Amino acid sequence: MELPKNTFKQALAKGQPQIGLWSTLCSNIGSEVLAYSGFDWIAVDMEHAANELPVVFSQLQSYDPSPATAVVRLPWNDPVVVKRVLDIGAFNLLFPMIQTVAEAEAAVASTRYPPHGIRGVSLAQRGNKYGRIKEYTTGIERELCILVQIETRAALDRVEEIAAVDGIDGVFFGPADLSADLGHLGQPGHADVKAALAEGLAKCNKAGKPAGILTAAEADSIHWLKEGYIFVAVGTDTAILARGADALLARIKEGAA
């Protein structure tokens, strides 16, 4: 078997906008529903959702035959977790709360086999189709997409240096944590936060790396796509479900009154 090509990574490198959705339902059935909705990528969140490894495993199985690409947001910059997520077949990893060049370098190292990193070797796991992809150990680094998340002022000040780390394929900005760090907790739309996001985009452009973001409002999604953010998550599955359910019930009650 041949090693699959990472079309998501290729699209980012070419500057082709990729519209995504955040997934926190922790369900392979929910994943399968989302997988065919037309989004370019879906974030499987292990940081702020109850996603443990077997559940992530089943979600990756749902996404693999679909047009959507799975991006796994890790719970932390932990090489043990990274190793296990890669072994179950993830190709795209998002590392949260990266603050320094050293942390970015450690993130990359956790995805590389020796001598270029510290990833442990397993020759028969889902990632290499249980030993059937013979070039996995020699070719996987070429297809992995490593993304780092910027969520503080200190990290924002170092974006160019972090983005320049060899092996980093994109930089993702988290408005929620960034707004908290800037003193505007719960206000991701605050003018200071928007200015910081614009600054981050400019620094990524200067470094030649694509910038990504998660937005909660449609207007913000459109705004940042027009400004030049490349990979943009435009909502979350839980919010879509909650708002859809609330709106349906409200319409029925109003119509039946």
Burial label, 123 (beta-carbon count in 10 A; 0-12, 13-18, 19+): exposed
pLDDT for position 177: 98
Q: Which of 157, 159, 152 is nearest to 176 (CA)?
A: 152
Q: What is the pLDDT of residues 136-182, one digit of tens each?
A: 999 999 999 999 999 999 999 999 999 999 999 999 999 999 999 99
State the pLDDT at residue 117: 99
Match 């900005």 to its residue by tokens: 173
Contacts of 176 (CB under 8 A, 6+ apart): 188, 214
**Model pLDDT, residue 239:** 97
pLDDT above 90 coverage of the chain, percent: 100
Spatial distance between the Cα atoms of 19 and 153, rounded to a whole number of angstroms: 26
HSE toward the beta carbon, residue 68, CA cutoff 13 A: 27
Beta bridge partners of 41: 20, 69
Asked if 223 is an active-site residue, the reply is no
| CA separation, residue 98 to residues 12, 103, 159, 207 (Å) | 20, 6, 10, 17
Second CATH level (architecture) for the domain 7-256: Alpha-Beta Barrel (3.20)
What are the backbone angles phi and psi of residue 86, rounded to the nearest 5°? -65, -40
Position 139 scores a pLDDT of: 98
Q: Which residues of the chain have pLDDT under 70?
A: none
pLDDT at position 45 is 99
Per-residue confidence (pLDDT) for residue 204, from 0 to 100: 99
> What is the model's pLDDT at position 128?
98
CA distance 68 to 31: 10
pLDDT reported for residue 235: 98
